[in-house]
Copies of this chain bind each other. A is one copy, B any other.
């Protein structure tokens, strides 16, 4: 399963940041007939590296998901799991990983044709869930999350060889410009920034709270923002955000009373299974990065509850 493979996207290996062009496609599907997205949406995804689709899930469906989240935030089994990330002070649930395995209802969202169906099309074939989680970002004290490329981490720490991975965020609260929404740098997915600083041991435990390695340098960020600007992924609850694994993203803090929560599914093509991590560290746990063997996801229409 894990074989030695050439490192096509080196990072955290040199004292100065590096910059290279992406060598992988953004949309793998060749035949665009019968696409579940319009031509305009497809070309925006290709150009920007992300796409916001407004109100894909109905208010009634969102209510079902939120009720389940509410229940999970009080469930001792969820709170006690190693896959749960809790607030240092209050102990409140901030993230729960591997929800596609542990939660039957949310596992169906992971297989929904409105989420996975779109990604299977974009990635041109069978996919599986590389990572899933639910996120709570509280109001008043919501912390910022600094710019990063998920692929930089998944490649370096998990050994994910190529850029053939797409994230799908299902917004469960309204995301407004002022309550710390996801921000993305359009076009940044076409470049790969090699970062400075070697991964420390057990980095993942702290990095899920606050990333300190795999951080792009100021000059690269400025150049990319000069080219593409900054976009905020705003939308009503029920909207989804699809973004390429290499699109730089982050979020500012949130002092407003409005919390944000979302479901987050990372889909990877079955031919792109993780190999040995490129930073020489032991692989991260399965609940953060699925290492296989995997079955292709059985995608179809779903109904909730």
A258 vs B177: C-alpha distance in the bound complex, in angstroms? Answer: 16
Complex interface: chain B residues within 8 A of A176 (CB): 230
Name A252's contact: one of B178, B221, B250 (CB within 8 Å). Answer: B178
> Which secondary structure dominates where chain A touches chain B?
loop
B144/A257 in contact, CB under 8 A: no
**Is A275 located at the chain interface by the 8 A CB criterion?**
no
For A232, give its contact among B178, B230, B251 (CB under 8 Å). Answer: B178
CB distance from A29 to the nearest CB of B (A): 32
Which residues of chain B are near A177, meaning CB under 8 Å? Answer: 177-178, 232
- Please give the distance in Å from A89's CB to the nearest CB on chain B: 15
A227 to chain B, nearest CB (A): 12
Q: Is A225 close to B, CB under 8 A?
A: yes
Question: Which of A147, A177, A254, A258 has the largest number of chain B CB atoms within 10 A?
Answer: A177
Q: In the complex, what residues of B have CB within 8 A of residue A225's CB?
A: 256-258
Cβ-defined contact, A221 with B144, below 8 A: no
Chain B proximity of A139: nearest CB distance (Å): 8
Bound form: Cα–Cα A251–B253 in Å:
9
Tell me the minimal C-beta distance from A115 to chain B in angstroms.
Answer: 26
Closest chain B CB from A286 CB (angstroms): 30
Contact A253 B256 (CB under 8 A): no
B residues less than 8 Å from A252 (CB atoms): 144, 178, 180, 252-255
Q: Say whether A222 faces chain B, with CB atoms less than 8 Å apart.
A: yes
Contact of A250 among B180, B250, B255 (CB under 8 A): B255
Instruction: Mark interface residues in A234-256 (1 if CB within 8 Å of B CB, else 0).
Output: 00000000000000001111111
| Residues in B whose Cβ lies below 8 Å from that of A221 | 140, 257
Whether a CB of chain B sits under 8 angstroms from the CB of A63 is no
Contact indicator per residue, chain A 144-169, by CB within 8 Å of chain B (1) or not (0): 10110000000000000000000000
Q: A183-B178, A232-B178 are in contact. Are A222 and B255 (CB under 8 A)?
A: no
Q: How far is the CA of A183 from the CA of B230 in the complex (A)?
A: 19
Name the B residues within 8 Å of A183 (CB-CB). 178, 255-256
User: How far, in angstroms, from A91 to B207 measured CA to CA in the complex?
Assistant: 28
Q: Are A230 and B178 in contact (CB under 8 A)?
A: yes
**In the assembly, what is the distance between CA of A179 and CA of B253, in Å?**
11
A195 to chain B, nearest CB (A): 15
Q: Roughly how many angstroms separate A258 CA and B255 CA in the complex, as a whole number?
A: 20
A17 CB, min distance to chain B CBs, angstroms: 14
**In the complex, chain B residues whose CB is within 8 Å of the CB of A232:** 177-178
Say whether A218 faces chain B, with CB atoms less than 8 Å apart. Answer: yes
A3 to B258, CA, bound (A): 43
8 Å CB contacts to B: which residues of A108-161? 140, 144, 146-147
For this complex, 6 residue pairs linking A to B, each with C-beta atoms less than 8 Å apart, are A144-B144, A177-B177, A183-B255, A225-B256, A225-B257, A225-B258
A-B pairs, 8 with minimum CB distance: A177-B177, A253-B253, A222-B257, A252-B252, A144-B253, A252-B253, A178-B230, A225-B257
